[in-house]
Amino acid sequence: MITRRKVLAGIGASLALPHFDSIAAAQVGSSKVSAQKFVGIGIFFGMNPDWFFPESGQETFVMPDLLNSLTPHQDDLTIFSQLDHPGIKAGHNSTHTFLSGVRYDMASSMPDGNLTVDQRIAEELGGSTRFRSLQYGIAPHSSSYLSWTRHAVPLRPEQSIERAFDRLFLNENAAEKAEAKARLNQGKSVLDLVNDQAKQLQKRLGKRDRDKLDEYFTSVRTLEKDLNQTLAWGDKEKPKVDYQKPSPPSTFVQKVPLFYDLIALAMQTDSTRAITFDITDFGGASGIAGIDSGYHTLTHHGKMEGRLSQLRKIEQFHADQFGRFLGLLKSKQGSSGKRLLDEVNVVFGSGLGNANSHSNRNLPIIAAGGSFQHRQHMTLPKTRSTQVPACNLFTSILQNMGIEDEKFGTADGTLTDFTA
């Protein structure tokens, strides 16, 4: 079978090839490449390493108490130890590197900037669905955004469960569609105008500023592509689902499961191929009994028992809701007739290893679904000279989705013992 990797090897080039429909069709028809969807879940404050990582290794591992709710899904997940992003420090200010391995202020020195794995997927596969990608979040702020373009532009997550539902499933009436189409066409006109102005400006700029302008042009072209895609889908009916629009949730414990529900439905209806879910803070009341301090305060527990016991309740909630989400994906049928979970590559974790010490080392990461060989606790080498970058996992996932990149971000290859 022809793959993009073989084409690259044949011409000896490092350029990113376009997405060839004939190659994609062959890959989709292959039994190996069936998981063409991705969900990235980021916990901004990380997970306490003393509770998160299993004590035993490889296939015989016993789930730690915190993750007991994941035991029914043990055959469908892998927990990683000693994965992180080489050279990344600065605690909370680097948490946004979770899905890229690159800080936004280092993007200019990288070939693909700080492009996140979900947006790499959107570049390749996003054109075949209503939405190129979707971003959801609870109390996010700029330092926590999970999703970034290759030009160091963060994609702001939707925080309203009602707006998220409407965008996925609510069909506008004829007048509303006409108004939306007019706004989109007006947006295209504005882009044409700023493009013309920028081209005139380009003649008067030095090389460095021309490079910046080239990045701007690329961003404009991406916006144009998104607008055209929205226009193309504007007259098509949105999918019907057996799920009532939720009432506005008031607490953290109400918001989280509702967003997980919508993510599962978006995957099932093939509304998009890439979703990120940024869980940063409570965004109001927690709704968890016994919590009387802020989430951030509790992560800096200083090993004080009172704070640790409250933090444990929060992280138990995260683990339980992730387990519930995996159960949802297992209960739904995918487009191939398999379980939806087999078609979705799921990554749960954080760009923060230990919030108490502001460490970005040994990131808490779980991969699930995607037809990988799971039921593993994969412990990677932890010396600096033999460090395995977390982006090796993302490269493995991209290749599992038929995106034949040799490397992604700061990767030096794939995870050789983690195959589909």
- At 60, the pLDDT band (50, 70, 90 cuts) reads confident
Contacts for 253-258: CB closer than 8 Å, 24+ residues apart: 253/286, 253/287, 253/288, 253/317, 254/287, 255/138, 255/161, 255/283, 256/138, 256/317, 256/321, 257/321, 257/324, 258/161
Cα 413 from Cα 398, distance rounded (Å):
12
Q: Where are the domains of the chain?
A: 1-30, 36-170+243-400, 172-236
The CATH number given to 36-170+243-400 is: 3.40.720
pTM for this structure?
Answer: 0.84
The runs of H, that is alpha helices, within 173-285 are 174-202, 207-233, 252-268
Tens-place pLDDT, residues 240-266 = 999 999 999 999 999 999 999 999 999
Worst-scoring range by mean pLDDT, 16-25, 130-139, 211-220? 16-25
Cα 182 from Cα 193, distance rounded (Å):
17
Higher pLDDT, 2 or 369: 369
Pairing of strands 134-138, 77-81: unpaired
Average pLDDT along the chain? 85
